[in-house]
Every structure is written in structure tokens, then in C-alpha cells.
Amino acid sequence: MIVTNSRIDAGTAISITDLFTIGIGPSSSHTVGPMRAALQFMDGLPAAPQRVQCELFGSLALTGRGHATDTAVLLGLSGHSPESVDPDAIADILAGIRADGRIQAGSAKDQWVPFDTERDLLFHMGEFLEAHSNGMRFSAWFAGEDAPFVREYYSIGGGAVLPGTVPVSDDVALGHNVVPPYPFSSGAELLEQGEAHGFSIATLVLRNEGAWRTQEETEAFLDRVIDAMSQSIERGLSQEGLLPGGLKVRRRARAIHQRLRLQQDALGPAQIFEWVSLFALAVNEENAAGGRVVTAPTNGAAGVIPAVLHYYRRFVPGADRDGERRFLLTAAAIGFLYKKRASISAAEMGCQGEVGVACSMAAAGLAAVLGGTNSQIENAAEIGMEHNLGLTCDPIGGLVQIPCIERNTMGAVKAINAAYLALQGDGRHIVSLDAVIETIRQTGEDMASRYKETSLGGLAVNVVEC
């Protein structure tokens, strides 16, 4: 039985640094997580191995090649992390491993280990480890030992990894052993804390982050995330050609950008939404190419928040860096709730757990910087998810390209619509954010596995690859 709800215990503290991480594409669960797991395994070995092996199960096996899981594992075993690896150097690193038949193992890089990708990197199609659909098993052999040293890991979404020694269950603790001054584990508690202390949602999160670091350090982290998001847009706008993977998907962002620049003098509502779609398109084309993006809250949904944040910067009068920080802090509060009460893993929830969550977060962030009250912000987050319920994850060819890239453009536009709808009301509404989060959890559990990042149903089987 595969457990389909690895949400964080309600009392566990989560930081913005857990939600927003700078890494590489194309997938947080299939690329970033496995890279981190491979690196953890190598760095945790008790001695230098003579041989290592990685076995992939469940969704990691079924769509791993399209999601570059094999690349991620090789990089992690070779001592590279998602945060520091140079995307432009990856092709040469992989070519060296395959040509030499060995890896320079672990962070220390002081040991060469034989590695045959046919023998030592195995995709077990249709097989699942018991605790989670994104399972990995690593083995290492040492001189004088007959039995291998074995560890299992699970990539549970957003780049987060759990060792197999920790049970993946409804009350698993994935966060930190700290006590924030204003804890909340539901939308209702979030609103109660804000009302009791007279804080905006952004201020509440900022004060809680003080349990980990100073305000200056938190703001510096937010600035790095904001800059990385902007850079992913700018790089995506400058690139052209075909995306890797065999579908022959052509990058469109650069050509669209050139056309839109010619229309700037006649800027109207339709053109504004074209720009927003372009921002999301640029990020997710960059993600699909294995470039540097921000997991927000996943790589498959990496374009939604940057696109809406860029909309705020470019089209909202008075936008500034402080507003951008408040945007992310508010969005983070909503992301925490999904991680605590449902999941952000498409392998568990379908795409409602990725693009749907990103849309909900972005809607809340935009409502905040447009002057919304806490109740209006909560309403915006609810609207953003309510109209993504049931969204499946069925990538063609197992690649984070179709429908994933365009789906981010839809999520960004929908987030803006949700924010403005919420601001037209007074914050009172029938469906609460907590109700919609519980609904995504139930829907994810009811959703057939073929629609949850396995490429065994939906568009993945009804569109002929060419």
C-alpha cells in the first residue's frame, strides 16, 4: 500500500527556507529530491565504497528519465547539490561519468568509485516501495564485506527528502525543532493570530522566522529568492531552440517577448495578461531545460509565483522591494498550510498539489501587496485553489513540458484573477481555505495513480509522441 498523505505534523514548524529553494530543473520531486538523497547517502557512508548502486521505484521509475532523475542521481553521487551545481557544466560531468565508468564520490571528491549506469542505476517500472510513490534505494559495497550497506529515501515534494528510517505517515515530523512565537496550523488559526496581535500575515511569518535567524538575515534570503526568480525569467526570455527530451518542444518565450515589446505603446488589459503568461512561460521553459529556478513550492510549478510577482513589480504603481518581500512572506504562510494539511507532491495530489498550490500562494501574495486584509488574503488563497481542484498530473513522455509549461501560465493568470475577486469583497465567504485544503487532500487520495505523475493516463497516453 502506498501512503498518499505525507503531510507535516500540525505542530511542526516550517521555515520559508524549506519552501523556497534555489536549484535546477526540471522537477523538485524527481530531480532536486533525488540529487539531495544521493548526496546524503554518499556523505553518510562509513567508509570509502568499492561500488554504489541506486534503484528507483514508483513515479521516480515511471517518469524518471523524462524528469532527469538519472541525471540528478549521478550528480548527487558525484558530490553536487541542487543549490551549487552549475547547470552549464552538467553535460560535461555526465559525459565524463559515462566515458570513464566512474564517479568522483561525495562532497569530499577524494575517492573515485566504479559506476556502470546500466548496472548501477536501475529503474524498477511498476514497482513501489511501501511508504511513498517516490522511492529510492541506495546500496554500497565495501572491501571485506559481503552484504551491502543499504539506505532508502523518499522524495516527498518540493525537493524535501525523508530517509526510509522515518515512517511517512500522517503525523511525520518534517520541519524543525523550534517553537515560533505565533504558531498556526490552519487558516483559521492564521487569521486568529493576526487578529489577536494586530499583525498582517506577512508580519506574522516574519516574526516567526525570528525563531531561526535575524530579520536582516531573513530579508537577505528573500532578496536572494526574488533575484533568482527574476534571473530565471530573464534567462528564459533570452534562450531559443528545442527543449531536451525528444518531444521537440520549441522554446517560445524569446519570440513572444520580441513581439510584445513592439506593442508596448498600446498596452491594455489583454496585453498585460500576455506579459504575465510570458513571464511564467520563460521560467518553465528554463526549468524544462534543466536551468536554475526557484522551487516555489515545486519546480513543476516554478513559474506561477515569479510571474505574479513580476506582474506586481511591473504593473502595480508603488511596487517596491519591501512589497516583494511581503508578497513572498504571505505566499509562504499559505504554502505552509498545504504542506501541513495536504501535500505539494504531484505523485500524491496530482497537479492540484503543484500548480494549484502555487496559484493559491500567488493569489494570497498579490492580495496582500494590493492592500488586502488578512480575511481577503485568505479568501484569495481559497479561490486560487478552489478552481484548480482535481487537476491531474499526466505529463506527456514523463517530461515537465506538456501540459506543464502552459499550465503555469494559466495558474499565474488565475492567481491574479483570484486576488482581484477577493479584494472586491469584505473577506467573508462560504468556502474557507481550510475546507478547500481538506478537499485537495481527499481528492488526491481518491485520484487514480495513473493521473499522479506516472504518465500512465490522461494526455500522456492519448497524445502520440512525435
pLDDT value at position 166? 52
Of 45-59, 153-167, 446-460, minimum mean pLDDT range: 153-167
Q: Are residues 279 and 333 in the same domain?
A: yes
Helical (H) or strand (E) element with 275: helix 269-288
Q: Are residues 51 and 195 in the same domain?
A: no
Q: Are residues 250 and 368 in the same domain?
A: yes
pLDDT at 319 over 60: yes
Helix (H, G, I), strand (E, B) or coil at 150: strand
Q: Are residues 195 and 291 in the same domain?
A: yes
- Residue 318: how many CB atoms within 10 A of its CB? 7
pLDDT at 272 over 60: yes
What is the mean pLDDT of the segment spanning 188-201?
Answer: 98
Tell me the pLDDT of the chain averaged across its residues: 92
CA distance 170 to 91: 39
pLDDT at 430 over 70: yes
CA distance 232 to 249: 19
Residue 432 falls inside a structural domain: yes
Residue at which a domain ends, from 163, 197, 225: 163
E strands present in 224-354: 292-295
Which residues, other chains included, contact 143 with Cβ-Cβ below 8 Å and sequence gap of 6+? 50
DSSP type of residue 129: -
pTM (predicted TM-score): 0.90
Q: Are residues 136 and 193 in the same domain?
A: no
pLDDT at 167 over 70: no
Domain count, the chain: 2
- Containing domain of residue 112, as a range? 28-163
Helix (H, G, I), strand (E, B) or coil at 48: coil
Find the farthest-apart pair of alpha carbons in the chain and give their distance in angstroms, rounded: 74
What is the mean pLDDT of the segment spanning 236-246?
Answer: 95
Task: With cut-offs at 50, 70 and 90, classify the pLDDT of residue 3.
Answer: very low
Q: Are residues 389 and 248 in the same domain?
A: yes
pLDDT at 157 over 50: yes
Report angle CA 430, 431, 436 to the nearest 5 degrees: 180
pLDDT, greater one: 152 or 110: 152
What is the mean pLDDT of the segment spanning 421-446?
Answer: 97
Proportion of the chain above pLDDT 90, given as a percent: 82
pLDDT at 287 over 90: yes
Q: Are residues 131 and 207 in the same domain?
A: no
Of 44-48, 248-252, 333-337, 379-383, minimum mean pLDDT range: 44-48
* C-beta of residue 429 within 8 angstroms of C-beta of residue 210: no
**Residue owning grid cell 511591473:** 314
pLDDT value at position 351? 97
Helix (H, G, I), strand (E, B) or coil at 250: strand
Q: Are residues 294 and 438 in the same domain?
A: yes
CA distance 103 to 152: 20
Of 63-67, 200-204, 321-325, minimum mean pLDDT range: 63-67
pLDDT value at position 178? 82
Which residues, other chains included, contact 92 with Cβ-Cβ below 8 Å and sequence gap of 6+? none
